[in-house]
Structure 1
Amino acid sequence: MHSAALVSLATSVPAHTFLQKDVLAAAWDIFGSRFPDYERFASIYTNTGIIKRHGVKPFDWYLTPRGWPERTEAFLEGAEALYIEVAGKALASAGIRAADVDTVVTVCSTGIATPSLDARVHRRMGFRSDVSRVPVFGLGCAGGASGLSIASRLAQARPGTNVLLVTIELCSLALRLDELTKANIIATSLFGDGAAAIVLRAGDGGETQIESTGEHLWPDTLDVMGWSVDPLGFGVILRRTVPEFVSSELKPALEKILTRMRLSLADIGRFICHPGGAKVINAIESALALDQGTLDHERDVIADYGNMSAPTVLFILQRALAKGLPARSLLTALGPGFTASCVALRRAV
């Protein structure tokens, strides 16, 4: 079968920029007097490696308690606008119109929309009435890699058709003022908003091709990462230490995935990893026996944007593409499940 190839890749973030130092100051005001031993936990903000992040709402909006109706209104307004922006950029870079898109895959886990986001932007985008729509929810931080895997298989199944992948996450809308938990403090220190879009096509070449895809789901790990749901909205679940999990579990899982791809770790010239946070990046380098500092694009993206969940690894891919990929790369992300999702990329010779 023809391999799916990347035709274009675009990224976008909302207009509102939050400096990490300002987030830390606000967090002290919000949590300092209410969270036991907060002074010790406040160091999280300075240890993330983040300089700034972006949010779909102005900074002060997040300092007032919000419930489901307000969060959902903000999600729909912000997600639709960001969707149109990033998809439009990817289509323009690919030299096609929305009417040329045959399948659109939309990945999002930070808001609920029914009709789905692709339907809500359908008229404004200019999609055809017969476009195939594939909305995907619940993949969390793994969504960029899993979404690319899904979109590539759909492109491969119908050579010559255009598949548009849009990953969009408004993580900031899930930040909570009421939850006095370590997980919420970590989330407040890490997450930002962003979107990425890719056009894929199979059958007519392309410099960067999807060679293979794979996933690994660890049993009995539902408590590692996810959402809780209550009348105020989503609440983050982080009940195990992800860096420690990565240190012990990532390499064996990747080896199993690569074996199914008929590859090995030695075949990979570049790892493109969802960063999670600074400690996760260090843990990945250690687990894969990479020299410290190897995951440079990962550190740069987390510094500039924070953890945007699903789109983050595609921001990193964009930088890696600009610098030039080796013969074979492995894009990988971890997310709820607990799951590792991988995409092997091959540079056409």
Structure 2
Amino acid sequence: MPPVFLNRIGTATPGHEVHGTFRAFAEGLIADPRERRLFSRMADRAGIARRWSVLPPDGRPGHVDAEGFYAAGGFPSTRARMARWEAEAPGLAFRALDALGPVEGITHLIVASCTGFAAPGLDHAISAHLGLDETVARTNVGFMGCQAAIVALRLARDAVRADSSARVLVVNLELCTLHLQERPEVEQLLCFLLFGDGCSAALVSADPAGLRLDGFRCALLPEAEEQIAWRVGDNGFDMVLSGEVPKSLARALPPRLPALLDGAEPEAFDLWAIHPGGRSVLDAVEESCRPPQGALAGSRAVLEEHGNMSSPTVMFVLRGMLEAREAGRRGIAMAFGPGLSAETMRFMTV
């Protein structure tokens, strides 16, 4: 089978920086002063300086966005959130496609998102925007959370291995900030404090440029099954991201690492594109996988600038590695999702 390459990545975020505004609103939901202080300490340690949203922020106390999408005591229904996702998603996707650059001869389109759904959906909007041939094979990957980008790249690689003339466009788009909840629990508010909006677009083909995609592995961690969950509720999607996830990863990854790394030792990899699900998640991977010193710097930088954007986030990390690559360096990408599950991708810079 021919080798397959991730040739280019383009990324985009909305124009509204909201981290401080969202944090102030969350603190205002906590009545107990001790819990409010705990939230503030944890927020300070999150490793996030900025997050971006399709919603313009409102700096007034007790407000979230300037449009009143989140009105105190009257947060929007799931229907309203999906309507906003449908309205905002195409424009952000088009910006990521512009950043990707020219794409010709596309044979497959894979779109991944877990924060919004519509049919006809984003795949149709992208096809029309790019003028893709009506015979392009379209696939939508939904509700796989933060690991969906690696799943989508695996599907893209399979398509090119089946037909070396295939050219696959992979788009990951999430509008996480459309799913805030008006809840006072500190753990839930800390979960909301992580997430931002973003999009990536990537080209996968047999053209020998970029990152060679060498293999994929996955693992289920049933002992932590309910620690990451994502379900449709009446008022948006209900996210569970337990504070126990880092501890579970630290315990579960070492015995599974030989399989996830396809038998290689951690020191065999120069580049580590770890999905920055949070500072403590990166700490847990660093502790349990023992990558080279400073190997997670790229992931920490993306977390600081963008927060956790769910599926596109690891693509932002990979984009940095693509832009700064030196030929012949081996890499591993890793992301986690509902279940609890882990997906890995081995690659080589060319």
- TM-score for both structures, normalised by structure 1: 0.90
1-structure distance, mates of 2:114, 2:209: 30
Tell me if the contact between 1:210 and 1:343 (Cα under 8 Å) persists in the aligned partners: yes
Shift of 1:220: 4.7
Q: Which amino acid is 2:302 matched to? A: V
Out of 187, 192, 215, which is 1:188 matched to?
Answer: 192
Q: For residues 25 and 182 of structure 1, do their structure 2 counterparts lie closer, same or farther at Cα, with a shift above 3 Å needed?
A: closer
Shift of 1:243: 1.1
1-structure distance, mates of 2:186, 2:23: 15
Shift of 1:224: 1.4
SS in 2 for 1:78: helix
2-structure distance, mates of 1:249, 1:27: 32
Tell me if the contact between 1:105 and 1:165 (Cα under 8 Å) persists in the aligned partners: yes
Tell me if the contact between 1:184 and 1:235 (Cα under 8 Å) persists in the aligned partners: no
Q: Which amino acid is 2:93 matched to? A: Y
2-structure distance, mates of 1:35, 1:336: 33
Asked if 1:231 is matched to 2:234, the reply is: yes
Tell me if the contact between 2:221 and 2:252 (Cα under 8 Å) persists in the aligned partners: no
Paired residue for 1:126? 131
Q: How does 1:1-349 map to 2 (within 5 A)?
A: 1-18=1-18, 20-29=19-28, 31-33=29-31, 37-59=35-57, 60=65, 61=68, 63-64=70-71, 65-90=75-100, 92=101, 95-97=102-104, 100-177=105-182, 179-202=183-206, 204-239=207-242, 241-259=244-262, 262-290=263-291, 293-325=294-326, 327-348=329-350
1-structure distance, mates of 2:198, 2:144: 16
Shift of 1:319: 1.1
Structure 1: unaligned runs, 5 residues or longer = none
2-structure distance, mates of 1:276, 1:339: 13
Shift of 1:238: 2.1
2-structure distance, mates of 1:182, 1:89: 37
Tell me if the contact between 1:156 and 1:201 (Cα under 8 Å) persists in the aligned partners: no
Tell me if the contact between 2:217 and 2:345 (Cα under 8 Å) persists in the aligned partners: yes
The alignment's C-alpha RMSD in Å is 2.0
Per-residue CA deviation, residues 6-33 of structure 1 (Å, 9 max, x unaligned), is 2211100011112x3333222222x122
2-structure distance, mates of 1:148, 1:5: 10
Q: Which amino acid is 2:197 matched to? A: D
Tell me if the contact between 2:272 and 2:291 (Cα under 8 Å) persists in the aligned partners: no
1-structure distance, mates of 2:124, 2:225: 31
Percent identity between matched residues is 26
Structure 2: unaligned runs, 5 residues or longer = 58-64
Give the length in aligned residue pairs.
337
1-structure distance, mates of 2:179, 2:20: 20
1-structure distance, mates of 2:111, 2:33: 37
Q: Which amino acid is 1:285 matched to? A: E
Per-residue CA deviation, residues 219-242 of structure 1 (Å, 9 max, x unaligned), is 253301122322111111124511
Tell me if the contact between 1:107 and 1:147 (Cα under 8 Å) persists in the aligned partners: yes
SS in 1 for 2:193: helix
Tell me if the contact between 2:250 and 2:284 (Cα under 8 Å) persists in the aligned partners: yes
2-structure distance, mates of 1:321, 1:39: 41
Tell me if the contact between 1:282 and 1:292 (Cα under 8 Å) persists in the aligned partners: no
Per-residue CA deviation, residues 289-340 of structure 1 (Å, 9 max, x unaligned), is 2466431111111110000011111101111222225521001111112111
Q: Which amino acid is 2:120 matched to? A: P
Shift of 1:36: 7.9
SS in 1 for 2:10: strand
2-structure distance, mates of 1:44, 1:194: 24
1-structure distance, mates of 2:159, 2:266: 27
Tell me if the contact between 1:16 and 1:58 (Cα under 8 Å) persists in the aligned partners: yes
